[in-house]
Structure 1
Amino acid sequence: MSRGIYILANDRVIDNAIALLNSIRAYDADSPIVMIPYNNQYQAIADIITKSHGVKIYEDLQLLEKIDDLVKQTCGDNLLDRPNLLRKLACWFGPFDEFLYIDTDIVVFEKIIENLNYLANNDFICCDYQYTGGIKQVFTPKITEIFSEDELKDVFNSGFWGSKKNLITQQDLQDTFEFCASHPEYFYVLNSDQTILNYLVLKRMSRRFNIVRENGKGPGNWAGSPHFKQEGYKLVDPKVNQPLKFVHWAGVRLEPGGSYWDIWEHYRYLNEPKPAQVAFTQKKKSLWQQIKDKIKG
């Protein structure tokens, strides 16, 4: 049985991809990694990461184009935001029997592929607290006509998840796209991949597991959470007294002075000199300035 990691990237996210890959390789030198091209602009990143990190490029480019065409034919040009994100669905048809998918705005703090051990008793895994915010950013309230309240407690973030090859078919994709196009009233379209991936998994996979629910409650991982404590170049969640598996800048700006910037910066320049302009770190505002900003807001 083969195991591996997929990422989705192009030339616009070279720095993020390198930071992610550096973090993966810092704890795991050997696990195979495949990059799914987000679009046709990926030669620059491919030249770098195939040499520096042993990454391979997804071979079946025709399948990616087929997914693109299927999305366009069924959903049109205006229904979905960033439809190319749906290329990540190609994970189910790639070379790995068991796989993790990881967005490039993530860095990891452990041998992350070992989380695939949870697939021994499950067909789909995720690791986030998306469900605590309810269904917003995934579905509209009308989705309760399709899924029960218990089922909707399994909504997840589409940036980190794992599954098994061929559990989803190309016909499943077509049926899902057609349903979403015919019933836009159920879907929060600003996150097209998250919406469609959630619908696909909730509809077709009953053996789901969210890793943060293990032993009651696990650590968070969203970079928008201000309470994490830094230990070296890892983070700890003091609410559960556990180290984070990874940190995810979903919807959070990755910039000097931003949330956990020094963590990202460390992994981005782990194996090369850090440019002077990137070394800038914004000074923390005084308490009085924070109060004034809050009043202005």
Structure 2
Amino acid sequence: MTDGIYTLANDQVYDQLVALLNSIEANVGVEMPVCVIAYDDRLDRVRAEIAQRPNVTLFEDPAVFARWEDFSRQVWQTHPFALERWRDQGIDGVYRLACNRRYAAFDEAAPFDRFIYFDADVLVLDSVDRIFQALDQADFAVYDFQYTDPGHIFNLDSPRLYEIFPPERVHSEIFCSGCFASKRGVFPPEQREWLVAQLASGEAEVLYLGAPNQSVLNYMRMRSNVSICNLALSLPEEQRTGNSVTSAHFERRDHRLYDHNKPLTYLHYIGLPSRLFRQVCEGENVTFPYRDLFLHYRYRHQPQERPLLEGKPRPYNQPPGFMQRVLNKLQLTR
């Protein structure tokens, strides 16, 4: 049985990808296979990076991607207004369709029997054995606190939501699609066809349009009754940690983070746009939480290339200045 780690990337998130790969190498080991799923064809820098790493491969099978993108289109064609609303917003087809390429990890042609998927904006900071061990007991394993915020998974205004999924399931089983573990073949073609039929019967209204891949993945797992283990709920309280960049209390020691003396398994820079990471790697002194930790892993093998961030620090979420507000207003009135 082959275990491995997947991520989804292109050249737009190159700096984050390098940091992720270096964090896996440092804290999991060079023996852990990693597979980068191609987000699109912008892969020149990604290919060059992978060529230097014996344990890393690139997954870019057009036939596999076509299967899952076609499934995603079928899913959203069942929704009463999603495609129309996205079209009104200037989006052609399914919003962020390429994000659904992460589903390729479930395909029979995928390389790993069991896998952990991490978004590229993640640093792995400790062993992932605990997550893989959870797959001995369940077909899905996660370690997050998304269950406290179901409004970013399902449409809470849908009267059908709690008819399909009891409230206790919604408030305990949902997860963030930026980190999850599962097994190849969990959603075979016949199961996908059945899921589309259920959505077409009226259930599609429970999906959340703001994060399509995340909503559909949660629906797929829950509607198929695939077993799940969330370590954020199953671990003893004295062993649990947070994992989100929005938590400001983590302590840094030896290039790792600790939550009240407990080591984090991973840190997710969720909600931070990829341009911030590019900007800081280009030398802009823009600040964001745990920036130095990101820079450590990004330049782990090239410390001499780490940018010197000079000048006054600028918070990434700093409100626009007066002149910028004027320019923004002029743009809006043109």
TM-score bin (small chain): 0.7 to 0.9
Residue 221 of structure 2 is aligned to residue 220 of structure 1: no
| Structure 1 residues 180 and 233: CA distance shift in structure 2, 3 A | farther
Residue 290 of structure 2 is aligned to residue 260 of structure 1: yes
Distance 1:19 1:138 in 2: 28
Bigger CA drift: 268-277 or 104-113? 268-277
Residue 98 of structure 2 is aligned to residue 81 of structure 1: no
How many equivalent residue pairs? 284
Question: In the alignment, residue 2 of structure 2 is paired with which amino acid?
Answer: S
Contact 1:257 1:281 (C-alpha < 8 Å) held by counterparts: no
Alpha-carbon distance, 1:160 to partner: 0.7
Structure 1: where are the runs of 5+ without partners? 286-297
Alignment correspondent of 1:110: 126
Distance 1:25 1:248 in 2: 17
Residue 224 of structure 2 is aligned to residue 204 of structure 1: yes
Question: In the alignment, residue 262 of structure 1 is paired with which amino acid?
Answer: D
Task: Give a deviation string over 1:126-151, Cα, whole Å, max 9, x none.
Answer: 01011122x11100122212101221
Alpha-carbon distance, 1:244 to partner: 0.8
Bigger CA drift: 189-198 or 114-123? 114-123
| Structure 1 residues 185 and 234: CA distance shift in structure 2, 3 A | same
One of 128, 137, 146 as aligned partner of 2:152: 137
One of 258, 264, 268 as aligned partner of 1:236: 258
Alignment correspondent of 1:70: 71
Contact 1:80 1:190 (C-alpha < 8 Å) held by counterparts: no
Bigger CA drift: 162-171 or 74-83? 74-83
Question: In the alignment, residue 128 of structure 2 is paired with which amino acid?
Answer: I
**TM-score for the superposition, normalised by structure 1:** 0.86
Alpha-carbon distance, 1:17 to partner: 0.5
Contact 1:236 1:242 (C-alpha < 8 Å) held by counterparts: yes
Distance 1:50 1:103 in 2: 20
Contact 2:32 2:55 (C-alpha < 8 Å) held by counterparts: no
Rg larger for: 2
Q: Describe how 1:1-297 pairs up with structure 2 within 5 A.
A: 1-27=1-27, 28-52=29-53, 54-58=55-59, 60-75=61-76, 78=86, 80-93=94-107, 94-133=110-149, 135-141=150-156, 142=158, 143-152=161-170, 153-177=172-196, 179-180=198-199, 183-213=203-233, 214-216=235-237, 218-238=240-260, 241-253=261-273, 254-255=276-277, 256-275=286-305, 277=307, 279-280=309-310, 283=313
| Structure 1 residues 42 and 170: CA distance shift in structure 2, 3 A | farther
Contact 1:18 1:49 (C-alpha < 8 Å) held by counterparts: no
Q: Specify the SS of the correspondent of 1:235.
A: strand
Alignment correspondent of 2:281: none
**TM-score for the superposition, normalised by structure 2:** 0.77
Bigger CA drift: 217-226 or 259-268? 217-226
Two-structure CA RMSD over aligned residues (Å):
2.6
Task: Give a deviation string over 1:140-187, Cα, whole Å, max 9, x none.
Answer: 122212101221121101011111121211333344356557544212
Contact 1:224 1:252 (C-alpha < 8 Å) held by counterparts: no
Alpha-carbon distance, 1:21 to partner: 0.4
Structure 2: where are the runs of 5+ without partners? 78-82, 87-92, 278-285, 316-334
Question: In the alignment, residue 104 of structure 1 is paired with which amino acid?
Answer: A
Contact 2:10 2:42 (C-alpha < 8 Å) held by counterparts: yes
